[in-house]
Structure 1
């Protein structure tokens, strides 16, 4: 399928050029479009920690926030300090950097046990995984940072376990588990528990889990997590954390009903395969006769199979599970796929993939010039430059494929790089100019400018776009607190809460989920 001869000079040149272009594409225009989806929530909480000079108590518009512990907010604060501004780029930087670091760490880890050739294929396949490439590497969310922490812990279990360095194993794994817990909550516990059980049971060393190093690791976890909540208790009651974290986990597992459960059983594995493209194209190699014996022949590969399978089951049977929840498991799916693909010798499958790559190259070569004529792209600056670059990339790939004999899978990886470059060239500009988030940013900046130096509150229980809130708070450098009474200054409220006994002026009217909202000043 993928022959094991070392990379040729042409392949090395192509991979190096592709890697340079890919890293550029990850960061190109990353900060030109407004925060949207869950991004502004992360930004708001980090900003309010800074503005209130309290790094222990997460708040959202001044209200206590319990759904996610604060580690990722600390990461955002560090990014804001690093770049010296509360910018969109700073909000997204560490998310993208986490993915790059995890891919590099995966290379170093796999190289030790499977050699440089397979390590390169595994790490680059992870780096260009479709779902991350065109979606989650474009937003400042928790999941890629969380994957870095959690996957590193899983690597550490095998790495130190094979060397029988159990003190290092348990202390490092439980320290990382504590960081994961303080990043995303209870989900870190089953990841660690299942991974430890998988490793020590298949090694027939279950008693190791009953010994002092493991107990010490648990104490490290308890100390780090307990230390945070002790500090939190100096400011607020901690009881809200437990009820929120437990109820969130239960809802994700059971919410939705039987039909939704059946749909999830079918859709979730298919979505997982789609998310790891192009490695997903190689998945059929796992269904050949004798594959299990080959997987068992290498300790890391078999460990990867077991870690992925038993952890995946938790999310396969959890109705509300999303694909991003299993990002920490993706390396452990890609490792066995690449291992078997580089051991397969069937000429028939190799020909199939060669034909498939030819089709992909033809489609890519035809789609690039079409960019000149697609409706909706007329507002993209320098579109013709991007199209020319894509045509040059297409020509290089054709030459490398036909004249230099570069292997089809490497061509496919480079096509994914071209997809990322296309996405980073066009989509950020459309998000900057044409989305609802762009309108919300404009409104938030206008409100902040109008109210600068004056009191501004949310009146009553008004709910609004967090993008608007983020830009108001960023510019005013203070939380947008709630108020139940009218005093002076400016307010944002529902129509039912408009003042009835004192004069006011409506400065802006907008809506959230169809509900009219008013920005007013008291006369």
Structure 2
């Protein structure tokens, strides 16, 4: 009953006000590339402002295009729906593989623990980014390696692994190959089957990857040179490493990284306390599947632990691996009623009622005064949160399920109060409206970016979508009659006559000039 209610509420939780907030710049890049594909009719070679874009392969842009076409508009809602679909698919995949080893309840908990961790539930599930879909594919890769290895079906193992790696590569580039290489090497060495990596079955897998990825780039080469494609992909994968940042920042990152990740993936990282016991390694090794998950987590997290500029969304494929270890240990600690188990429950027994009481805050806030149905919209979720807190206390066998339901209801409350308030006070909304108004105002005349004037991708998306035409960047030897965006920090007004302003989100300067060359 608790699980069914959680699933039913999860859908509105993920969809309410999904398209409300303006794009952040990474969302703007993905959506702008997809939009320019549509406007140009060129679906093979991605572009930004009509210039070839090399940083990412095109698969995610194709997925965005499908969503845009299905919903009939290029907007935030249709751009973010693929993330929700991928997240639900990811959760279903976790459930599918975990129920091969454990009960349906344990498999369900593993799936929902991932979906309801703070980083996913209150951030990444609301953004039109590659990472959720890419992480889903990489998690599938991990599961294929374990389950096909267990049955010694090595042709299926390498075939499926390289197929998923090809999909991951066409989504995000070289990280997919890194995950494949580390996972195969570590696990085959651990299982004493290193020589199998030199088998004909492995060669077949490589051929599958070569056909899929090579086939795309063979078609790409008919439209544009491959000279910059792979050097840029390599650069994208290495720019956040010690090579760029140096040893000092790297050392600081090495020390702070575990604490940052614990923060981002709360509340479930609280269960890391279960690792504090002398026989934890022996306990993990009792279960071969949990051993595999722990092994691949440790092996694949090392490149990120050693890279100073890492965002939590880069680790979404690893989160279910370590969460599964925590949940496995949770059952052991619960049966022993250990001090760790009592500490975890004591913490949640304190926090949940406090949050339930805090959910009454909209009744007393000036920012929510005057909202329609305020008392119903406030009291109903607060009551449901309080009910979950009560049953978390009373229904000990289902405590994790009640906590999951608590988090889903909290996300609904977040959707209806926090997101609108954030949008009202977010300069991004003013930037969005400024770009849309500017795009419409100059929709019937040529419109360009002048020389090296900086652009911000979200602004560029809204401008391009409003004009329904690609905004090209022009240089002095190719200037055409029309209106241009000028960066006033770079170009003086002696070069152009200012006719308008365009708000921008980032940096000290909050606007760019719109003008006509003199």
TM-score past 0.5 threshold: yes
| Closer, same or farther: CA 178–201 of 1 in aligned 2, 3 Å | same
Change (3 A) 1:140 1:227: same
Paired residue for 1:6?
none
Q: 1:505 to 1:196 in 2, by over 3 A?
A: closer
Is 1:418–2:418 an aligned residue pair?
Answer: no
How much has 1:217 moved relative to structure 2? 0.5
Tell me if 1:453 matches 2:444.
yes
Preserved contact between residue 6 and residue 405 of structure 2 (Cα < 8 Å)? yes
From the superposition, tell whether residues 508 and 321 of structure 1 become closer, same or farther in structure 2 (CA, over 3 Å): closer
1:487 alignment partner, one of 477, 480, 503: 480
Q: State the Cα deviation string for residues 95-117 of structure 1 (Å, max 9, x = none).
A: 12111111111011011022323
- Contact kept in structure 2, 1:372 and 1:384, CA below 8 Å: yes
Preserved CA contact (<8 Å) 1:61 1:481? yes
User: C-alpha displacement at 1:17, in angstroms?
Assistant: 1.6
Q: Does 1:409 align with 2:403?
A: no
Q: 1:170·1:217 contact (CA, 8 Å) conserved in 2?
A: yes
Shift of 1:227: 1.5
Deviation at 1:332, TM superposition (A): 1.0
For the residue of structure 2 that corresponds to 1:519, the secondary structure is strand
TM-score by length of 1: 0.92
Match of 1:202 among 184, 190, 199: 190
Point out the more displaced range, 150-159 or 453-462: 453-462
Aligned in 2, Cα 1:112/1:509: closer, same or farther, shift over 3 Å? closer
Aligned residue in 2 for 1:513: 507
Q: SS in structure 2 opposite 1:261?
A: helix
Q: 1:474 aligns with which of 465, 481, 495?
A: 465
Give the distance between the partners of 1:508 and 1:514, measured in 2 at CA: 15
Deviation at 1:382, TM superposition (A): 5.2
Q: Within 5 Å, give how 1:371-382 maps onto structure 2.
A: 371-374=362-365, 376-378=367-369
- What's 1:128 paired with? 116
Residue 109 of structure 2 aligns to a residue whose secondary structure is: helix
Query: Does the 8 Å CA contact 1:45/1:73 hold for their aligned counterparts?
Result: yes
Structure 1: distance between partners of 2:486 and 2:393: 64
Q: Report the counterpart of residue 6 of structure 2 in structure 1.
A: 18
What does residue 353 of structure 1 align with?
A: 344
The 3-state SS of whatever aligns with 2:87 is helix
Distance change (3 Å), C-alpha of 1:499 and 1:340: closer
What is the CA-CA distance between 1:514 and the residue it aligns to? Answer: 3.4
Deviates more, 1:418-427 or 1:359-368: 418-427
Q: Which residue of 2 aligns with 1:114?
A: 102
What CA distance in whole angstroms lies between the structure 2 residues aligned with 1:260 and 1:170?
38
Choose the corresponding residue for 2:314, options 325, 330, 335: 325
Q: Give the count of matched residue pairs.
A: 510
Asked if the contact 1:72/1:142 (under 8 Å) is kept, the reply is: yes
Matched, 1:395 2:390: no
* C-alpha distance in structure 1 between counterparts of 2:487 and 2:324, whole Å: 53
Residues 327-375 of structure 1: per-residue CA shift (max 9 Å, x gap): 1111111111111211223324343333222211221132111233345
Q: How does 1:257-296 map to 2 (within 5 A)?
A: 257-296=246-285
Q: Which moved more, 1:16-25 or 1:174-183?
A: 16-25
Residues 368 and 390, structure 1, Cα contact 8 Å, conserved in 2: yes
Pairwise CA distance, 1:433: 2.7
What TM-score do you get using the length of structure 2 for normalisation? 0.92
Equivalent position to 2:28, from 17, 27, 40: 40
1:312 corresponds to which of 301, 314, 329: 301
The reply on whether 1:187 has 2:175 as its aligned counterpart is yes
Q: CA 1:402–1:245 in structure 2 vs 1: closer, same or farther (change >3 Å)?
A: closer
The SS at the match of 1:343 is helix
Q: Summarize the alignment of residues 429-440 of structure 1 with structure 2, pairs less than 5 Å apart.
A: 429-440=420-431
Contact 2:141 2:161 in 1 (8 A): yes
Question: Cα distance 1:226–1:200, how it changes in 2: closer, same or farther (>3 A)?
Answer: same
Q: CA deviation at 1:16?
A: 2.0
Asked if the contact 1:368–1:391 (Cα under 8 Å) also holds between the matched residues in 2, the reply is yes
Alpha-carbon distance in structure 1 between the residues aligned to 2:248 and 2:366: 39
1:376, CA displacement in angstroms? 4.6
Distance between the aligned counterparts of 1:330 and 1:193, measured in 2?
19
Residue of structure 2 aligned with 1:462, choices 439, 453, 470:
453
User: What is the deviation of 1:260?
Assistant: 1.8
Of residues 175, 199, 214, the one that matches 2:163 is 175
2:65 is the counterpart of 1:70: no
Q: RMSD across aligned C-alpha pairs, in angstroms?
A: 2.2
SS at match of 1:488: coil
- State the Cα deviation string for residues 253-311 of structure 1 (Å, max 9, x = none): 11323332222112211222233333312212222232222211222111111110111
Distance 1:365 1:499, change over 3 A: closer
* Unaligned segments of structure 2, at least 5 residues: none
Aligned to 1:300: 289
Aligned to 2:136: 148
Partners of 1:236 and 1:384 lie apart in 2 by 59
